[in-house]
Structure 1
Amino acid sequence: MRTKLRIVLIISMLIIIAVAAYFYFKSRTAEHVSSYRYPPVKVALTTVKQQVTPRILSSIGELEAVRQVQVSAETTGVIEQIYFQSGQYVKKGQLLVQLKTNVEQGNLGRLQAKLKQAEMAYHRTKQLIDSNAISRAEMDTALADRDMTRAEIQQLQALIEQKSIRAPFSGVIGIRQVHQGQYLEAGSSIANLVDTQQLLANFTLDEQLAARLKTGQAVQLKIDAFPEQSFSAVVSAIDPMVSKSRTMMGQALLNNQHQQLKPGMYAKLDIQETNLPSLVIPETAITYTAYGNTVFLVKKDHNTLTVQRVAVELGERYQGWVEVQSGVKAGDQVVVSGQVRLSDGMQVEPTENTLQQSPSSPSKAKV
């Protein structure tokens, strides 16, 4: 019996010693962990800069000729002669198509003879009225006959002139749509005439961006057909109304002296705004979370650097840089590399940053 009691006491003492040893070593480990300080995380830093940068409004547009018209027949007739080739450059007033005027020319000769007779009759009556040989009514009739004949001649001459279809302005004429000997109705199309010396780029902007659009702003155009070239233009007109799609239309005028560009081509437009001061940081400084955009802001306490996650509101971006509208100020330092290992309050050690160069290109606001 005593032996069993002794065994129970020994086992109990061993259990008590084991439990005491467990809690002792656990408390020592906690003290060691709490007293341990993690080494600073090496990160790249950059300084928030305030600088004046040109802003860009970007849009897509379509080129249109400043002057373009469908050359048409004003009157009916049969084509006697065609004086142009498709795609030819023509000058203002140049004869393009001549309709037959045989009948009109015959009538014109008859009326001119009639006018000559009417003028002679009026001249005789004017001499006779002075001697009271005829009445005033007879002279008035002779005068009316002369004037009516003149009017008929003018009307016929206008009709003959309409049968000479001429270029209303200088430009390139399109594909010919008629043939010699063809009968034309009034309004029949001859060809398209386009003045390509100057072109308009029609574009639209979202109504929120349209308020920043001003006439006279410089525009750079990129055309897919000429990927290595950039074309200069100027905002020439802005529509005063916003469409139902909540966009506003604008026009940019550009010279096309080398005739490279054609109406109907699509263009990418970069419209330069007035230079404005803004805060900029590299895009790599932004950490994207479910709660919004944040940066790790560096805090200095004596010789120790720690980080704090700060929410920021972003503006426009361009070529790796982004405008910061709130959350930081000029001169603040933010982390641009190594954020994945950071959390609030952690110590950091700055390393050399290769992203310090400021943006030299303008920031873009797209449709």
Structure 2
Amino acid sequence: MKKKVITIAALLLIVSLIGFRLVANKEKIDEKNVLPTETNRAIPVTVAAATEGEVNQPLVRTGNLIPYREANIMATTQGQVDAVHFELGSYVKQGARLVQIDSKLKELSLEATQLNISKLKKDVDRYSTLYAGNAATELQLTDTKYNYENAMNQAEQIKKQIQDAAVLSPISGRIVKKSIENGEYVNPGTVLGTVLDVSRLKVQVIVNEADAYQLKEGQHVRVSTDIFPDKKFDGVISYIAPRGDEQHTYPVEITIQNSSGLKAGTFVTVAFNNTSSQRALLVPRSALVESLQNPYVYVVEEGLAKQRKIQVGRTIGESIEVLSGLNANEQVVTSGQINLTDGARVQAAN
């Protein structure tokens, strides 16, 4: 029995030694199968420098169309409105009567003043005769003439008030605002409506100093809009500001004959027959990561790829303009970005 126990114990010891040996061998095999770490391995990329230089491009600006003229219909006398002769959207001609303000009391006042003028005229004639015969003093004649002239002035003022009771259209165009109805009371300065002249339209754009010296008033330009993608409209430079602002930019105004039903407020593009030379910071388009709405690049600094958010401008051939976030001569990654993360080690392959 004792011999049997010893035999079993020996077998268990042998099995334990074999198991320990197998585990040790497996650990060595696993260590050999572990892939070498990539942490310190540099990722190959190609790079290019951000370059600054003169860029010549067609001079193009954008803006919104505005009416050629816009004017308020305004009361210049007080009183109750007797009649309104326009509606929203009506076409009116310059000088047309649009609103009639009650002027009956003024007309009665004018009649009374004119009767007084007739009487005073007779008094002037009578005192002139008496003064010539030394039957009246010079003071009496002077006072009579003064009263006569004062009455004449009053009559002219009343006539002007009666004339102002008829509110006329200041320009030809369409009514875009109506702010009055029959029976309302108005005072001088009350705005009764607004009229727009869109027979011609204008667009105002801003150009830099160098471009302002290239342009001339009377020069023709091409105007386009996405509303009519197949049409080009002829515009004429009608105004170039004689003075620039602190940023050395100049307002320029273009006038367009509106025979195609364009509406004020439409967004348009103005193409001048000139090129614009400007300094710009450029990088290859291939350096751009993400989209134009959320652009960034990888900048190589001391062998590391640093993610840098930038603001972009125009696309110029195979390059893109950088407005901010990057300096001239900085090295940007142009290929291999798919393998990069911020701070990854890189090696320029070019």
Contact 2:90 2:174 in 1 (8 A): yes
**Equivalence map 1:122-201=2 (5 Å):** 122-201=124-203
Q: 1:131 to 1:58 in 2, by over 3 A?
A: same
**Equivalent residue, structure 1, for 2:115:** 113
**Equivalent residue, structure 2, for 1:238:** 240
Contact 2:58 2:271 in 1 (8 A): yes
Q: 1:254 to 1:289 in 2, by over 3 A?
A: closer
Secondary structure at 2:77 match in 1: coil
Contact 2:176 2:195 in 1 (8 A): yes
**Equivalent residue, structure 1, for 2:79:** 77
Secondary structure at 2:256 match in 1: strand
Contact 1:63 1:200 in 2 (8 A): yes
Q: Which ranges of structure 2 fall in alignment gaps of 5 or more residues?
A: 1-55, 276-282, 288-313, 320-350
Kindly state the Cα deviation for residue 105 of structure 1 after the two structures are TM-superposed: 1.4
Runs of 4+ in 1 over 6 A off after TM superposition: 286-290
| Structure 1 residue identity aligned to 2:240 | I
Contact 1:199 1:253 in 2 (8 A): yes
Secondary structure at 2:229 match in 1: strand
**Equivalent residue, structure 2, for 1:204:** 206
**Equivalence map 1:241-320=2 (5 Å):** 241-244=243-246, 247-256=249-258, 258=259, 260-273=261-274
| Structure 1 residue identity aligned to 2:197 | D
Kindly state the Cα deviation for residue 145 of structure 1 after the two structures are TM-superposed: 0.8
Contact 1:196 1:259 in 2 (8 A): no
| Structure 2 residue identity aligned to 1:272 | N
Moved more, 208-217 or 161-170: 208-217
| Structure 2 residue identity aligned to 1:263 | A
Q: 1:159 to 1:287 in 2, by over 3 A?
A: closer
**Equivalence map 1:350-365=2 (5 Å):** none
Contact 1:61 1:204 in 2 (8 A): no
Instruction: Report Cα offsets for 1:185-224 as digits up to 9, x if no partner.
Output: 3222111112222222111124454443332322111123
Contact 2:208 2:248 in 1 (8 A): yes
| Structure 2 residue identity aligned to 1:169 | I
Kindly state the Cα deviation for residue 241 of structure 1 after the two structures are TM-superposed: 3.1
Kindly state the Cα deviation for residue 289 of structure 1 after the two structures are TM-superposed: 8.6
For 2:196 and 2:72, locate their aligned partners in 1 and report how far apart those are by CA, in whole Å: 9
For 2:130 and 2:212, locate their aligned partners in 1 and report how far apart those are by CA, in whole Å: 78
Contact 1:217 1:234 in 2 (8 A): yes
**Equivalence map 1:87-102=2 (5 Å):** 87-102=89-104
| Structure 2 residue identity aligned to 1:83 | H
Instruction: Report Cα offsets for 1:109-140 as digits up to 9, x if no partner.
Output: 11111111111111111222222221221111
For 1:163 and 1:88, locate their aligned partners in 2 and report how far apart those are by CA, in whole Å: 21
Kindly state the Cα deviation for residue 102 of structure 1 after the two structures are TM-superposed: 1.9
For 1:171 and 1:177, locate their aligned partners in 2 and report how far apart those are by CA, in whole Å: 17
Kindly state the Cα deviation for residue 226 of structure 1 after the two structures are TM-superposed: 2.4
Contact 2:176 2:194 in 1 (8 A): yes
Q: 1:321 to 1:271 in 2, by over 3 A?
A: farther
Residues paired across the two proteins, number: 234
Q: 1:259 to 1:230 in 2, by over 3 A?
A: closer
Contact 1:55 1:272 in 2 (8 A): no
Secondary structure at 2:263 match in 1: coil
For 2:180 and 2:227, locate their aligned partners in 1 and report how far apart those are by CA, in whole Å: 31
Contact 1:99 1:163 in 2 (8 A): yes
**Equivalent residue, structure 2, for 1:66:** 68
Contact 2:285 2:318 in 1 (8 A): no
For 1:249 and 1:234, locate their aligned partners in 2 and report how far apart those are by CA, in whole Å: 14
Query: Structure 1 length as normaliser, TM-score?
Result: 0.57
For 1:233 and 1:79, locate their aligned partners in 2 and report how far apart those are by CA, in whole Å: 42
Secondary structure at 2:218 match in 1: coil
**Equivalent residue, structure 2, for 1:304:** none
Kindly state the Cα deviation for residue 272 of structure 1 after the two structures are TM-superposed: 1.0
| Structure 1 residue identity aligned to 2:81 | I
Secondary structure at 2:242 match in 1: strand
Kindly state the Cα deviation for residue 55 of structure 1 after the two structures are TM-superposed: 7.2
